Chain A
Amino acid sequence: MNRRRRQVLKSGSGMTLLALVAAAGWLKPGDASAQSWNKAAFDTKSMADTMKALGGGEPAQSKDIVFFQTPDIAENGAVVPVGIISNIPKTESIAVLIEKNPNMLAAVFDIPAGTEPSISTRVKMGQSSNIYALVKADGKYFVAAKDVKVTIGGCGG
């Protein structure tokens, strides 16, 4: 057992080890202190699969999730600003999903108590698509969507 562990450490990069550990279920996905990376969730291609990998059921539509700084039309799909505020009490995490990207999940942010449930970042989009903000609050999942058009050629039309 110990020797095997050595081999894994030697042969694989840190990522494969983490993936193995995550796959074996030793680390809870989303556990902030454990520095885990939920490979299964980042590999998914549909909302349903992503939810399964994150360990949740079908999210409820919510009007309490608000997008800010997010454009209706993005001139450059490589840099699309996304800001998300969750007004749902006990928000634990905010995830950004892009419907038509090769893999839907872009990022997951764990929000400990004391941190405002609001994040702002920049993502890549392959084409015009819905951006989903998936919020986990008090163990339940909520979702909101925003349609963003990506202008190819960048002439701002």
Chain B
Amino acid sequence: MADPMKIRATLVGDATEIKVLMSHEMETGQRKDAQGAVIPAWFIQNVTVAHGGTTVLAAQWGPAVSKNPFLSFKFKGGAKGDKVTIVWTDNRGDKRTDEATIV
């Protein structure tokens, strides 16, 4: 299981700003190791951010997203104390779910 995500959910005016830092290799499948063998691709494919049972952002990623991906966006309708749930799934089928409270 991968390391937890670092999530910051802050209320700015009437919008909630989400900043996430995920821990993932995001291997492209283009690189070769010292022996010349191709390092297989290993990257996050789907990211879903939900607030109160509603999806506020759904992303599909390719291997061109940087290692230890960063993502930031804003949505309306959040309130202090609400929970925000973020889920990612990678191409090996690994999954990680983390939760943060809006401050």
Q: List residues of chain A with CB under 8 Å of any chain B CB.
A: 13-15, 30, 32-33, 35-38, 42, 78-81, 83, 98, 101-103, 105-112, 114-116, 118-125
Closest Cβ neighbor of B49 among chain A residues: A115
Asked if A106 contacts B56 (CB within 8 A), the reply is: no
Scan residues 9-57 of chain B and give those whose CB is less than 8 A from a CB of chain A.
15, 26, 28, 30, 45-46, 48, 54-57
B41 to chain A, nearest CB (A): 10
Report the minimum CB–CB distance from A145 to chain B (whole Å): 16
Kindly list chain B residues whose C-beta atoms are within 8 Å of the C-beta of A78: 66-67
CA distance A111 to B72 in the complex (A): 13
Q: Are B65 and A124 in touch, CB under 8 angstroms?
A: yes
Contact A118–B73 (Cβ < 8 Å): yes
Contact partners of B59 in chain A: CB under 8 A: 107-110
B70 near A121 (CB under 8 angstroms)? Answer: yes
Complex CA gap A124/B27 in Å reads: 11
The answer to whether A123 touches B73, judged by C-beta atoms less than 8 angstroms apart, is no
Q: Which residues of B contact A (CB under 8 A)?
A: 15, 26, 28, 30, 45-46, 48, 54-67, 69-77, 89, 91-93
Q: Is the CB of B72 within 8 A of A124?
A: no
Evaluate contact between A115 and B75: CB separation under 8 angstroms.
yes
User: What residues of chain A lie closer than 8 Å to B77, measured between beta carbons?
Assistant: 114
4 A-B pairs with the lowest CB-CB distances in the bound complex, closest first: A32-B58, A106-B64, A14-B93, A122-B66
A134 to B26, CA, bound (A): 23
Determine whether the beta carbon of A110 is less than 8 Å from that of B73. no
Other CB < 8 Å A-B pairs besides A35-B89, A119-B72, 7 of them?
A: A15-B92, A36-B60, A83-B72, A98-B64, A103-B62, A108-B60, A112-B55
Residue pairs across A and B with Cβ atoms less than 8 A apart, 16 shown, are A14-B92, A15-B45, A15-B91, A33-B58, A37-B45, A37-B46, A42-B60, A78-B67, A83-B72, A98-B64, A103-B63, A114-B76, A116-B74, A120-B71, A121-B72, A122-B65
Among B62, B69, B74, the one with the most A-chain Cβ atoms within 10 Å of its Cβ is B62
Residue of B nearest to A35 (CB): B46
